Amino acid sequence: MARILVVEDSSAVRAYIRAALEDAPGLFARGPEDAPTEVEVVEAASGFDALRLLPRGHYDLVITDINMPDINGLELIRFVRESERHRKVALMIVSTQSAEKDRARGLALGADVFLAKPFTVEALRKAVVTALNGRSAQFAADAPPSEGATPSEGSR
Amino acid sequence: MTTESERAREEFFSEAQEIVEGLGRDLLALDEAQKSGHVDPDLINDVFRAVHTLKGLAGLFGATRMSTLSHELEELLDDLRMGRVELSPPVLDLLFRSVELYGRILQIEKEGREQPMPELDQLLRLLHRGTTGASGTASPGPIIDPSLLAVLTEYEETRLRTNIAQGLGLYRLRVRFQLATIDQGLDELKATAKPYGEIITYLPTGAGDDADSIELDILMASRASAETLRGALAHLGVDVEELPRQPTIPQAVPPPPMPSTPARPSSHPTPAPPPMSPLRAELDTTGAHVAFPRGAGGGDTSASIPPKAQDLGTIRSVAQTVRVDIHKLDILMNFVGELSIVRTSLERVLDKMRDAHTDRELALNLHRLQRDFERHISSLRRGILEVRMVPLGQVFDKLARVARQLSREADKQVNLVITGAETEVDKLIVEELSDPLMHMMRNAIDHGIESRTRREEVGKPAIGTIALNAFQKGNHVVIEIEDDGRGFDTERLVEGAIRRGVISPDEARTMSRREILNLAFVPGLSTKTDVSELSGRGVGMDVVKTNIAKLGGVIDLQSESGIGTKVTVTLPITLAIISALIVKVSDQQFAIPLANVQEAVWLDVDAVRVIDGRDAVTLRGSTLQICYLARLFGLSEQVEAPGVGGFGDIDAPMTHQPQMSAPMRAQRRNSGAFGREYSAAFPYRPAHGTSAARGGGRVARPRRKFVVVTAVGTRRLGLVVDSLVGEQDVVTKPLGPSLKNITVFAGATELPDQRIALVLDAPALVEEMFANADRTRMTHGGPHGF
């Protein structure tokens, strides 16, 4: 069972991510034994929401947007990386490709995976698997959703 | 398609719609700010964020048009918020046009239609030209502590630099919030700090790792002194520290890990990021250096903000609202309707028990239970109705945008004054109101408000005023659109009506002012011979009237030549459930909405006189035109007492109650707007005592019928029925296609005995009866507007 916290101020993006991850039973395998894992998505509508939720449960992965009101994604990433309790959690940024500076800062602060918006369901799943397996990567923006599109590993 | 992804798609539409509406509001505020010359950067950033979010959504959900538009807009807005482009009226115009287009695009997307949108292409070209390609060389600003820069988004960094460049002081506010009440605490802090400057960012520090509270470092730029800020924020438990401004040797930021492999070219045009000179190469121009200590430091005020109660009532935390599909509420409302029917049946059983002298103990218990049941149903209904309510402000915002656009097109200056935007109405009514109100707004600007020169000639202020008011009145909501323009040209209205054969010259002479004004609602009558580009006054007013009537509302017009026009729309607050009077005609039952019922009285058939070829009776000194529903619907007229049916003993002979000959009156509330009284539709009042339910047809008086006096606006019409069954809350369901075209029925409803009753559309019926009526001077029951 992998628990994922999705921090995003857009409810539709949260719903999209939930649909992409929860509708893929057994998609996520972790570790060498390749046991299929269930995914549970928990939604946070703001940085503050995330701060409220983090101490209340264990998460394997936090997926966060950068541009959010009040507490931005960068501040959240730093908070997680500096806290005793959540330091080990995998961190993934979903943000627009164009905000180069934000991306660079996010990675410098210790995010493991960067996924550019807009992304396809496949790209998202791949990025999540990467992050849950403790690796880091950056995924470039993909064409709008189409069947069978695969994200490009590495990025601009 | 799985259910989860369908849900996500639903969410996309409702969120996008919400964002677009918010965008409209922000633009109006920006418009105001631009005029006043002080634009709040937060506001521009809000607009940017809205478009940015839309772009992201459109990308995810494959809404290409929305993507393209958002992409172009985002560039423009980014230039605006980064201060590379000045906010000017032409730029605002582009933004307003974009909001309108968003709405259209969403509609087309939702319906899945494929249709060309030339206006979109046009706007895109304009936007493309309009963004004058920012130079992209951000002026090298002050040196800022890299550990702080590391967590600022690009925009926050720009704001920080701008503020420093303008010579504002920088402060660190440290405060601890309880996580449970952080939203209120934060709102309060924002509201308090706002007048003193700009909050750049919030940093959770992670100090005192505690699961229930969080410590924040807040970076704020302000012209105020540290003392002033301390004083202002002390009551919130905020610790204020001024950040030193001293020249230091800039430190380099560790270079971020750069990707090695180039991205494959994406089909999405992504703009190249503006070239930013690396920090280390920047010159220290201002000598400002900001150090931002972090981590668990001193000054740990573990004061937590108490949950506030007072004046932030309107700022509801987003986390506490739930979006619900209106159709789900409809389903719930249907259940309530069904429950109401059960409740009524229960009451009938109780009545029977009382009369049948059954076990009194049992009857009493049952009666108590029944009362509880009734109370809970009422609460349930009220609860659901409240959930369906949305503020009229949603429509008013759109109207304000339209007003702005139209007044610019017509080159007239108009000041729009809005009151009562918080008045709440059923969501479905709000949806249906948009078009009629839009049309009236057009009329007011196009035909009401005169040109500047003309206004000056007649000694009016050069700027026209349109007042848009909303307020609640009992179970109704009243919306007024009032302009101080030229008013209606009644002579030309009459001329037009005579020319088109709507009225005869003789009739014209006897018409009251109000009746003449009502000619504006006759299809195709316009006082403007040349219909302008926007709308001919009168053209479309008939449609407006029809649409309002569909919602169970009435529209009223008042106008003084040279002074102005006031259109008043009165609507029921909800469409979901109506209280109705159930009547019998022949062996059919009909429901008449109680909102249109003034009273019900005995009718002595012998007292009917024929006036000007119409049946009429005299009621308390006034002439009342009557209409035999049996004849109207081609049912056999009953001259003897109605047979037993429907509700058992209701129609059976009963002990004589002297007060029954007095007019049955519903619980009343006086209504000036209507010039009539209407009953409170909620909560349900059992039809006991003086209610008509107990005054069923009496066998002894075969020639006796009832007249139900219906009032719509200022017109009254007596509907002749055989008997009154009782009052009931009914859920109106639409009619099938076969009956769709009969205008006098609003729908059908199921009664407690499982029979179906047709619900009369009182406004339509009154309209129908008066449409070709001789223009007899009828005495109206209500005061006239002017």
Residue listed under structure tokens 């029944």: B370
- φ, ψ at B205 (rounded to 5°): -90, -25
Do B268 and A152 lie within an 8 Å CB cutoff?
Answer: no
Q: How far is residue A118's CA from residue A95's CA, in Å, rounded to a whole number?
A: 8
* Closest Cα in chain B, distance from residue A147 (Å): 12
Asked if A43 and A18 touch (Cβ cutoff 8 Å), the reply is yes
| Total beta-carbon pairs less than 8 A apart between chain A and chain B | 186
* First vs last C-alpha separation in chain A: 33
Q: How far is residue B757's CA from residue B748's CA, in Å, rounded to a whole number?
A: 6
* Closest Cα in chain B, distance from residue A33 (Å): 29
Cβ neighbors of B82 (< 8 A, separation 6 or more) are B134, B138, B155, B158
| DSSP helix/strand/coil, B716 | strand
In B148-187, the residues whose Cβ lies within 8 Å of chain A are 149-157, 179-180, 182-183, 186
Q: How far is residue B108's CA from residue B558's CA, in Å, rounded to a whole number?
A: 38
Mode of pairing for the β-strands spanning A61-64 and A90-96: parallel
Do B211 and A55 lie within an 8 Å CB cutoff?
Answer: yes
pLDDT in tens, B627-670: 988 888 888 765 544 333 333 223 333 333 333 223 333 323 33
Suggest the residue from A39, A42, A48, A122 to mutate for an interface test with chain B (most B CBs closer than 10 A). Answer: A48
Do A56 and B151 lie within an 8 Å CB cutoff?
Answer: no
Residues of B in contact with A97 (CB under 8 A): 266, 268, 270
Do A15 and B60 lie within an 8 Å CB cutoff?
Answer: no
* Closest Cα in chain A, distance from residue B123 (Å): 23
Instruction: Tell me the C-alpha to C-alpha distance, in Å, between residue B528 and each of B296, B492, B503.
Output: 75, 8, 18
Do A18 and B4 lie within an 8 Å CB cutoff?
Answer: yes
Residue from the list B12, B268, B295 with its beta carbon closest to the beta carbon of A143: B268
| DSSP helix/strand/coil, A74 | helix
Residue in chain B nearest A14 by alpha carbon = B8
Please give the structure tokens belonging to residue B576: 């979901």
* Closest Cα in chain A, distance from residue B382 (Å): 29
Do A75 and B7 lie within an 8 Å CB cutoff?
Answer: no
Q: How far is residue B150's CA from residue B164's CA, in Å, rounded to a whole number?
A: 18
Residue from the list B2, B209, B271 with its beta carbon closest to the beta carbon of A83: B209
Do A51 and B204 lie within an 8 Å CB cutoff?
Answer: yes
Residue listed under structure tokens 């007019």: B663
Residues of B in contact with A153 (CB under 8 A): 261
Do B60 and A56 lie within an 8 Å CB cutoff?
Answer: no
Q: Which segments of B131-212 are extended strands (E)?
A: 143-144, 169-178, 197-204
Suggest the residue from B52, B65, B266, B320 to mutate for an interface test with chain A (most A CBs closer than 10 A). Answer: B266
**Eight-class DSSP state of B257:** P
pLDDT reported for residue B275: 38
Residues of B in contact with A11 (CB under 8 A): 11, 15, 323
Residue from the list B150, B186, B271 with its beta carbon closest to the beta carbon of A109: B150
What residues in chain B have per-residue pLDDT under 70?
1-2, 129-144, 208-209, 245-323, 357-358, 475, 524-540, 574-577, 637-703, 713-714, 734, 736-741, 754, 771-786
In B663-692, the residues whose Cβ lies within 8 Å of chain A are none
Secondary structure element (H or E) that encloses residue B656, with its range: none
Neighbour tally for B178: CB within 10 Å = 16
Whether the CB of B273 is below 8 Å from some CB of chain A: the reply is yes
**Eight-class DSSP state of B510:** H
Do A117 and B56 lie within an 8 Å CB cutoff?
Answer: yes
Residues of A in contact with B157 (CB under 8 A): 101
* First vs last C-alpha separation in chain B: 60
Query: What pLDDT tens digit does each residue of chain A (156 aa) get?
Result: 788 999 998 888 998 898 888 876 555 554 444 444 678 889 898 888 888 888 878 899 999 999 888 889 999 999 999 888 888 899 999 988 667 788 888 998 999 999 998 888 889 988 998 898 877 777 776 544 333 333 333 333
Residue from the list B5, B151, B267 with its beta carbon closest to the beta carbon of A78: B151
Suggest the residue from B4, B26, B82, B151 to mutate for an interface test with chain A (most A CBs closer than 10 A). Answer: B151
Residue in chain B nearest A101 by alpha carbon = B154
Whether the CB of B655 is below 8 Å from some CB of chain A: the reply is no
Do A67 and B4 lie within an 8 Å CB cutoff?
Answer: no
Secondary structure element (H or E) that encloses residue B318, with its range: none
Q: How far is CA B209 from the centre of its chain?
A: 45
Cβ neighbors of B433 (< 8 A, separation 6 or more) are B392, B395, B425, B479, B551, B569, B571
Count CA atoms closer than 13 A to B448's CA, side-chain side.
30
Residues of A in contact with B218 (CB under 8 A): none
Residues of B in contact with A63 (CB under 8 A): none
Do A10 and B57 lie within an 8 Å CB cutoff?
Answer: yes
Whether the CB of B49 is below 8 Å from some CB of chain A: the reply is yes
pLDDT reported for residue B524: 65
- φ, ψ at B465 (rounded to 5°): -120, 135
**Eight-class DSSP state of B456:** H
* Closest Cα in chain B, distance from residue A115 (Å): 12
Mode of pairing for the β-strands spanning B389-391 and B414-419: unpaired
Do A99 and B273 lie within an 8 Å CB cutoff?
Answer: yes
